[in-house]
């Protein structure tokens, strides 16, 4: 595939420039004004070209619960989610398609799917999600969500003695599944990557974490996990380890420049220093943190400490959306209320770099993706600057990040292959997808959750809430 985008607007260090961009065999080969046309000529007039963003943390299958779960903190929200989320392979496929389409149409070219597995159908679940992502053409980073402790273990014990049902699958069996998944499905050259991804310290043993470290090192895999999303998890870490979760993960060797950590809301200054030292990446999920009352991550502290930060939508029932531009907007302006020194506030240009290059660095691909640089892979997004929501003509990136852009993505390429043209996804019939989602769901409002009713009294007690 060869093409030349002509007369397109790109950001420079402090302004913008009109240039031509050549792409040959999936890589950017030249960026300069008035280049000779190589391959197909694409008119970039009145359009902004940016590197593709990374939706650096989501759970595709949560699509089926979007808008349905009432206001609850994470620990009780999970209980309701598990009560009402019977999955089948058809739903896994459809929700992966939907996640990919929504990500593409909001500027993303890569998605990190912390994929919930159907018990007994783990391989089929992963194969099904990968099939959907390959059909769409998005760059996929599938992180099978694994744990080896039961849901109740994720709530601090407090002063009481708690016993938990054993998890239905052994730690070693889980690790064996992930190793076989890597052997079958990890094909970076085809745009499909497998990550090791224990869900978090709240539901995982040290044996599971260390097993994942070993697999990561043996197969050169990136690592992913939730980390200190809630105050309850901060309390739980002290109960389990007698220190912070960050200190513990550092001691056992899980943190590295190949490690991305979702949320990171309840971290101390010492924790932040450890993340900077280990070159770990924080994935900021501002909308789910607000939706679940988890808190506001100290993002400005991370940046000042030199921690790499990027953005994620999180799952579509804790957000409840996969609009990456919305996550970037909220994630970049939310922190204006946490630090009075406006010189620390995140500018739109910084937000774009965090969403693209920051996401690529978190996947150990900063040298291949994330910027408009000759030699990098052509994961590109073209925005229509005549769209009403990107007018009037002021600062294009300012409008894209701070405005409410709607239907602004004109074209998308992943590895030089065009997968969105004139605002339409090429490889998926979105009208048919809408019908599939509609026919596989039903209207409902309140659903009594027996698990929430059972767990709520203990949760309220250990969190110091009134009866």
- For the stretch 216-250, pLDDT in tens is 999 999 999 999 999 999 999 999 999 999 999 99
298-326 pLDDT, tens digit each: 999 999 999 999 999 999 899 999 999 99
pLDDT at 164: 82
Across the range 136-162, mean pLDDT stands at 90
Across the range 174-193, mean pLDDT stands at 97
Q: Give the relative orientation of helices 450-462 and 74-83 as an angle to the nearest 10 degrees.
A: 170
pLDDT at 22: 98
pLDDT band for position 83 (50/70/90)? Answer: confident
- Specify the fold of 55-362: TIM Barrel (3.20.20)
CATH architecture of the domain with range 2-50+376-439 = Roll (2.30)
Assess whether pLDDT exceeds 80 at residue 163: no
Assess whether pLDDT exceeds 80 at residue 271: yes
Assess whether pLDDT exceeds 80 at residue 445: no
d(CA 102, CA 316): 11
Nearest to 23 by CA among 371, 353, 379: 379
d(CA 278, CA 297): 19
Assess whether pLDDT exceeds 80 at residue 46: yes
pLDDT at 446: 74
Q: Where are the domains of the chain?
A: 2-50+376-439, 55-362
d(CA 155, CA 264): 17
Is-same-fold flag (2-50+376-439; 55-362)? no
The DSSP 8-state label assigned to residue 345 in this structure reads S
d(CA 413, CA 410): 11
Across the range 151-175, mean pLDDT stands at 87
Assess whether pLDDT exceeds 90 at residue 161: no
pLDDT at 234: 96
Lowest mean pLDDT among 125-134, 157-166, 296-305: 157-166
pLDDT at 87: 85
d(CA 3, CA 7): 13
Across the range 144-160, mean pLDDT stands at 89
Distant-in-sequence, close-in-space partners of 283: CB < 8 Å, separation ≥ 6: 56, 57, 112, 260, 261, 262, 263, 264, 309, 310, 311, 312, 362
Nearest to 234 by CA among 201, 203, 204: 201
pLDDT at 151: 85
Chain mean pLDDT for the chain? 96
pLDDT band for position 427 (50/70/90)? Answer: very high
Across the range 286-301, mean pLDDT stands at 97
- Helix H or strand E encompassing 104: helix 89-104
Assess whether pLDDT exceeds 80 at residue 257: yes
Q: Tell me the β-bridge partners of 158.
A: none
pLDDT band for position 287 (50/70/90)? Answer: very high
- Which structure tokens are listed for 298? 């100290």
Assess whether pLDDT exceeds 90 at residue 158: no
pLDDT at 339: 94
Number of residues in the chain = 467
352-411 pLDDT, tens digit each: 999 999 999 999 999 999 999 999 999 999 999 999 999 999 999 999 999 999 999 999
Nearest to 278 by CA among 231, 223, 236: 223
pLDDT at 152: 87
Assess whether pLDDT exceeds 90 at residue 160: no
pLDDT at 14: 86
- Which structure tokens are listed for 427? 């490889």
């Amino acid at each position: 595939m060869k093409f030349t985008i002509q007369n397109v607007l790109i950001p420079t260090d402090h302004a913008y420039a009109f240039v031509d961009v050549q792409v040959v065999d999936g890589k950017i080969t030249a960026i300069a004004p008035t280049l000779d046309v190589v391959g197909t000529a694409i008119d970039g007039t009145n359009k902004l070209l940016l590197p593709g963003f990374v939706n650096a943390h989501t759970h595709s299958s949560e699509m089926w619960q979007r808008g349905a779960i009432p206001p609850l903190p994470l620990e009780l929200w999970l209980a309701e989610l598990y009560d009402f989320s019977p999955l089948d392979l058809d739903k896994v496929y459809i929700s992966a398609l939907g996640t990919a389409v929504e990500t593409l149409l909001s500027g993303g070219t890569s998605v990190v799917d912390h994929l919930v597995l159907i018990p007994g159908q783990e391989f089929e679940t992963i194969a099904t999600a990968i099939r959907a992502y390959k059909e769409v053409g998005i760059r996929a980073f599938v992180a099978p969500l694994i744990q080896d402790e039961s849901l109740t273990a994720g709530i601090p014990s407090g002063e009481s003695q708690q016993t938990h049902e054993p998890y239905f699958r052994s730690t070693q069996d889980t690790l064996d599944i992930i190793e076989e998944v890597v052997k079958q499905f990890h094909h970076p050259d085809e745009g499909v990557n497998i990550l090791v991804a224990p869900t978090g310290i709240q539901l995982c043993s040290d044996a599971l974490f260390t097993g994942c470290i070993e697999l990561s090192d043996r197969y050169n895999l990136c690592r992913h996990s939730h980390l200190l999303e809630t105050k309850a998890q901060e309390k739980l870490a002290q109960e389990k380890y007698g220190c912070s979760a960050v200190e513990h993960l550092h001691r056992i060797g899980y943190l590295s420049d190949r490690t991305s950590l979702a949320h990171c809301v309840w971290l101390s200054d010492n924790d932040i220093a450890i993340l900077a030292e280990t070159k770990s990446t924080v994935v900021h999920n501002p909308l789910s943190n607000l939706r679940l009352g988890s808190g506001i991550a100290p993002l400005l502290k991370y940046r000042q400490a030199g921690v790499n930060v990027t953005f994620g939508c999180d799952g579509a029932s804790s957000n409840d959306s996969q609009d990456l531009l919305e996550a970037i907007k909220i994630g970049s302006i939310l922190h204006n209320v946490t630090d009075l020194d406006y010189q620390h506030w995140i500018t739109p240009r910084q937000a774009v770099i965090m969403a693209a290059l920051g996401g690529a660095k978190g996947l150990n691909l900063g040298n291949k993706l994330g910027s408009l640089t000759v030699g990098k892979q052509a994961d590109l997004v073209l925005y229509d600057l005549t769209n009403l929501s990107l007018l009037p003509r002021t600062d294009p990136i300012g409008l894209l990040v701070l405005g409410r852009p709607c239907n602004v993505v004109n074209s998308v390429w992943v590895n030089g292959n065009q997968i969105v043209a004139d605002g339409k996804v090429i490889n998926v019939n979105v009208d048919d997808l809408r019908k599939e989602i509609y026919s596989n769901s039903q209207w409902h409002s309140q659903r009594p959750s027996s698990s929430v009713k059972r767990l709520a009294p203990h949760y309220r007690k250990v969190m110091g809430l009134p009866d």
